[in-house]
């Protein structure tokens, strides 16, 4: 399976890679305009799967490439595209990934950001035949919606798409909510993927307080802050849109090596094992949880035997203590059981309503514990936001050993 790739955290990788990809097509990200898409469409930038190279693949336009690739420019100007984020939010870092673009990568790029009320009504078309919109045409349309596009990344040289140079990481320190990005290539060329790492920011004031919603959903500002293991799939996948596409679209740990040689179960049929795995998530807004869904979709020979959920309410300052440095798996004994240990089934949606939940107060963080290991495709925490606002300050992400 192409995207079932081990998430191996290498120490020189930036912390921001742990946040959500707000531009991913599976989160609703969309390219709304590109100056030129001769060799390969800009929508490829937002694909979830890692870039591929197929040596024998050609189209009538040239070599098939898995990314956005424009013509060799023979007229003034440069190429650019506009991306509407699937989830508007605060951006903490970018990866301009040039994988497999070697003799045809874009030598330099810059990125601009805007917070637009709605998508610009771009009727301009970048195509494979004529010349696309000029900068002045674009400005005329975009300025109707935004005073200015802010520079997130100045014009910067990119590295070519060899396996050891393809990731061009840019930490971003920009405190405002972003809805759209403009990616500029100077002057032309190819970029495989644009990953936009950050945390969603929802306008909670517009929401009737009686509404129940999934408080941990990516689109509602949920974010994974720590985990014990993510060998096959990152826990952030659990808060993605809709049901999971495949096993790669979920949280999957490696098999624990401390499993007893002969397994035993207790009276409830739950395996007696010493080890477990965990993931901590911060809700988009503190709230009272009244229904939980744990979906093991696609995990058939590798679903966890059991799970439980703990929860707590932390202020941003308290959170800072646990997240700055290393997230402690036991933040000052603040965890309280929300869902008692439950036996799980393969490839199944498990629903737990208020009667099964052990507490009713407002919570801001949860810890999903699975035993001994395995995969969970989705976690949904349905509830009502409470009036206290959790200002999500930037959480420095660190992995635990």
Ligand X SMILES: NC(=O)NC(NC(N)=O)C(=O)[O-]
Scanning 58-66, 82-90, 153-161, 241-249 for contacts with ligand X by CB under 6 A, the matching segment is: 58-66
Q: What angle do CA 122, 24, 395 make, to 5 degrees?
A: 115
Among 4, 6, 9, 72, binds ligand X (CB under 6 A): 72
Scanning 57-65, 203-211, 271-279, 293-301 for contacts with ligand X by CB under 6 A, the matching segment is: 57-65
Residue 61 token pair: 């336009």
Residue with tokens 């646990």: 322
Q: Which residue is nearest to ligand X (CB)?
A: 62
Q: Strands, E, within 323-385: which ranges?
A: 336-343, 349-353, 363-371, 375-376, 378-385
How many whole angstroms separate alpha carbon 352 and alpha carbon 162?
Answer: 47
69 vs 229 by CB, closer to ligand X? 69
Among 28, 32, 43, 63, binds ligand X (CB under 6 A): 63
Query: Are 382 and 329 spatial neighbours (Cβ–Cβ below 8 Å)?
Result: no
Query: Taking CB under 6 A as the criterion, which residues in 8-47 touch ligand X?
Result: 39
Cα of 45 vs its chain's centroid, Å: 14
Nearest approach, Cβ of residue 189 and ligand X (Å): 7
Among 4, 5, 62, 135, binds ligand X (CB under 6 A): 62
Nearest approach, Cβ of residue 54 and ligand X (Å): 12
Counting residues that bind ligand X (by CB under 6 A) gives: 7
Residue 134 token pair: 């000029």
Scanning 62-70, 126-134, 177-185, 283-291 for contacts with ligand X by CB under 6 A, the matching segment is: 62-70
What long-range pairs does 201-207 form, CB within 8 A, spacing at least 24?
A: 201/88, 201/89, 201/90, 201/177, 201/392, 202/284, 202/285, 204/285, 204/385, 204/389, 207/385
Nearest approach, Cβ of residue 58 and ligand X (Å): 8
Which helix or strand (DSSP H or E) is residue 322 part of?
helix 316-323
Report in angstroms the alpha-carbon separations of 309 from 33, 49, 101, 359, 371: 43, 30, 44, 11, 12
Report in angstroms the alpha-carbon separations of 369 from 236, 253, 280, 320: 14, 12, 9, 22
Scanning 63-71, 81-89, 349-357, 378-386 for contacts with ligand X by CB under 6 A, the matching segment is: 63-71
Q: Which runs of consecutive H residues, i.e. helices, occur in 77-153?
A: 135-142
Among 7, 34, 65, 323, binds ligand X (CB under 6 A): 65
Among 35, 84, 104, 392, binds ligand X (CB under 6 A): 104
188 vs 310 by CB, closer to ligand X? 188
Instruction: Decide if residue 57 touches ligand X (CB under 6 A).
Output: no
104 vs 112 by CB, closer to ligand X? 104
62 vs 154 by CB, closer to ligand X? 62
Peptide bond preceding 130: is omega within 30 degrees of 0, i.e. cis? no
60 vs 147 by CB, closer to ligand X? 60
Residues contributing to the site for ligand X (CB under 6 A): 39, 62-63, 65, 69, 72, 104
């Amino acid at each position: 399976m192409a995207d079932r790739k081990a998430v191996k955290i290498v120490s020189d990788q930036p912390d921001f890679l742990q946040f959500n990809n707000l531009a991913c097509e599976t989160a609703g990200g969309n390219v709304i305009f590109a100056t030129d898409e001769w060799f390969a469409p800009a929508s490829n930038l937002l694909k979830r799967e890692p870039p591929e190279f197929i040596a024998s693949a050609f189209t009538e336009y040239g070599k098939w490439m898995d990314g956005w690739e424009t013509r060799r420019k023979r007229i003034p100007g440069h190429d650019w595209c506009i991306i509407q984020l699937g989830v508007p939010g605060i951006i903490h870092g970018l990866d301009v990934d040039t994988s497999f673009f070697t003799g045809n990568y874009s030598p330099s790029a810059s990125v601009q950001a805007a917070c637009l009320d709605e998508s610009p009504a771009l009727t301009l078309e970048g195509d494979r035949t004529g010349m696309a919109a000029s900068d002045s045409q674009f400005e005329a349309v975009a300025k109707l919606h935004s005073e200015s596009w802010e520079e997130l990344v100045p014009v910067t040289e990119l590295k070519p798409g060899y396996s050891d140079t393809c990731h061009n990481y840019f930490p971003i320190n920009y405190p405002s909510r972003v809805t759209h990005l403009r990616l500029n290539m100077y002057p032309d060329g190819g970029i495989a993927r644009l990953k936009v790492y950050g945390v969603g920011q929802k306008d909670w004031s517009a929401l009737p307080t009686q509404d129940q919603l999934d408080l941990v959903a990516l689109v509602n500002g949920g974010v994974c802050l720590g985990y014990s293991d993510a060998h096959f799939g990152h826990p952030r996948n659990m808060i993605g849109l809709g049901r999971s596409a495949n096993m790669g679209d979920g949280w999957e740990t490696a098999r624990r090596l401390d499993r007893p040689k002969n397994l035993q179960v207790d009276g409830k049929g739950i395996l007696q094992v010493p080890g477990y795995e965990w993931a901590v998530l911060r809700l988009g807004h503190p709230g009272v949880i009244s229904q939980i869904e744990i979906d093991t979709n696609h995990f058939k020979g590798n679903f966890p035997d059991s799970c439980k959920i703990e929860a707590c309410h932390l202020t941003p300052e308290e959170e800072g203590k646990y997240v700055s440095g290393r997230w402690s798996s036991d933040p000052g004994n603040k965890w309280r059981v929300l869902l008692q240990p439950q036996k799980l089934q393969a490839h199944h949606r498990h629903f737990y309503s208020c009667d099964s939940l052990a507490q009713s107060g407002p919570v801001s963080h949860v810890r999903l514990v699975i035993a001994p290991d395995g995969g969970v495709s989705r976690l949904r925490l349905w509830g009502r936001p409470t009036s206290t606002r959790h200002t999500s300050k930037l959480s420095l992400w660190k992995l635990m050993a």
